Amino acid sequence: MTDPVTARLAYIWTKRTIAEIEATSRFAAYADRMRKHGAPPVFEAQARAASEDEQRHTQICRGMARRFGVEHLDVQPDDYRVGEGDSPERLFGDVIATCCFSETLNVALLSTTLQYAKDSEIREATRKLLADEVRHSRLGWAYLTWGRLQGLGASIAGRLPEMLVTVTGPKLYREATAREDEERYRALGDAHMSERRALFETTMQEVILKGLEDQGIATGGARAWLAQPSWPPGHGED
């Protein structure tokens, strides 16, 4: 019988590996789109650097997945290039979704993980990921400030519920049951689902949405979604 703690850690690090592969492709596409739409070169350079960071993260996460028994992981990333229909406004929203939402949430999760994880290999991997994710988050918040000065952002309020659907799933909001060997899960960097949900809601309400409001973006739709979350059928069930 498979050890449930090992299976859980294999799942976590496999999902992280896939996310890093996708992020490598996504940030490279953002850099190309930033050049296309005339964003300041510093943002393009930071997006390209982020893509390189994510390549390193992929190897870190693959190594951790391998430790927990995942020997083969063949993933082809989506193509994040945008042709017809791309615009500075669309790019602006995409960068906010990735950096201000996903990367900021990653920073919160990884920072919290370091508070309770005791396994030295997991702590070292987490530190390496965290150092870069902080920069990726800051890229998004800087791009948000710049974009607002350019008059971008008219579409963002309407896209916020969609962004929330993307960065979380219904598993987070299911009733969390007690786990046997909880301390072992925590020592390996996996907090109880109730803690993860509280961290998500606090970070979203007090950091991300507040940051958007400070830039004049209405967040009523996002806050309404948080009060009553919903997802399309089948979303986030893997």
Mean pLDDT of the chain: 95
Domain-located, residue 83: no
Q: Give the number of domains in the chain.
A: 1
Assigned domain for 97 exists: yes
Q: How confident is the model at residue 81 (pLDDT cuts 50, 70, 90)?
A: confident
What backbone phi and psi angles, to 5 degrees, belong to 83?
A: -100, -105
Write down the pTM of the prediction. Answer: 0.94
- Assign residue 93 the CATH number of its domain: 1.20.1260.10
Residue 232 · residue 165 · CB < 8 Å = yes
Average pLDDT estimate for 153-168: 96
Give the C-alpha separation, 167 to 140, whole Å: 15
Q: Which domain holds residue 108?
A: 4-72+89-175+183-227
In which element (H, E) is residue 23 found? helix 4-36
Average pLDDT over residues 131-155: 98
Residue 81 lies in a domain: no
Q: Looking only at Cα atoms, what is the longest distance across the chain?
A: 58
**H or E element: which one contains 121?**
helix 120-149
Flag whether 124 is in a domain: yes
